[in-house]
Structures are given as C-alpha cells and as structure tokens.
Amino acid sequence: MSHPHLLTPEEKLADAKKRLSLPHIVVICGSTRFMSEMTQADLRETRVGRIVVKPGYDMKSPDGLSSDPAEAEALKARLDDLHRAKIRLADEALVVGDYIGDSTRAEIAYARSLGKPVRFTHPEVDPDA
C-alpha cells in the first residue's frame, strides 16, 4: 500500500503561488549602503512584471540604530530573520552592489541552500564564481 506524498512547506508555498498565479518574486539582497541602488533595481524588476521584496530598514542610517547596543543587536537579529523569510518567499535573489560583506555572503549562501537562483548586479563579486 503506497502512502500519499506529504508536501513540504516549500512545496506547499510553491503550489499556493502557482494557484494564485503570482508573478515571479525577487528578493533584493546586499549591503544597505546600496539602498538607492536597491530602489533602482526594484524599479527595473517591477517594470518587467516581477514582485520585489527588499530590505525595508537601513541600520546604517543615522536613525537606524538604537543607542543601546543590546537593543540594536536584538533589532538586527529580528531584521535578519525577516530577510531570511523574504528569501524563502522569493523565487530568486538579486544581489545589488559591488561589495559583499559577511551578512550578504550569508544571504547568498542561504538562498543557494534553498535552491534559489542568485543574480548579481556586479557578477564579479559572486563569492562562488
């Protein structure tokens, strides 16, 4: 007797996106020092019909960090968790900028571990190239 195949959460999400006829979803990754470039990439991706999710909070801006180091670290951890959720939601990642720091390198590795394609605005910075 064969058992029915139970769908993984990722398969359920892919099925739901297909049933809803959602356009391709792109998550923008990279250092928040490239926020204006991320906005330009968002415009380009949206123009061709893709849904775009990107960092919504710039911890490098003057009002981005709390003066309390513990609060700042807790906020960064929450934002990192939120961005990983955006990566799980997306169909592919687009890395913006000509610099890859530790956080962006971790985002790229996470996206690739999930089997997500990763594109670069500056392919020469691809850590796996």
Element housing 120 (H / E): strand 118-120
* Per-residue tens of pLDDT for the chain, all 129 residues: 566 788 898 889 999 999 999 999 999 999 999 999 999 999 999 999 999 999 988 777 766 566 778 888 888 899 999 999 999 999 999 999 999 999 999 999 999 999 999 999 999 999 988
pLDDT for 63 equals 64
**CATH of range 23-125; options 3.30.70.600, 1.25.60.10, 3.80.30.20, 3.40.50.450:** 3.40.50.450
Segment 101-108 long-range contacts (CB within 8 Å, at least 24 positions apart): 101/31, 103/31, 104/29, 104/30, 104/31, 107/29, 107/83, 108/29
pLDDT for 89 equals 96
Q: Structural domain boundaries of the chain?
A: 23-125
Element housing 119 (H / E): strand 118-120
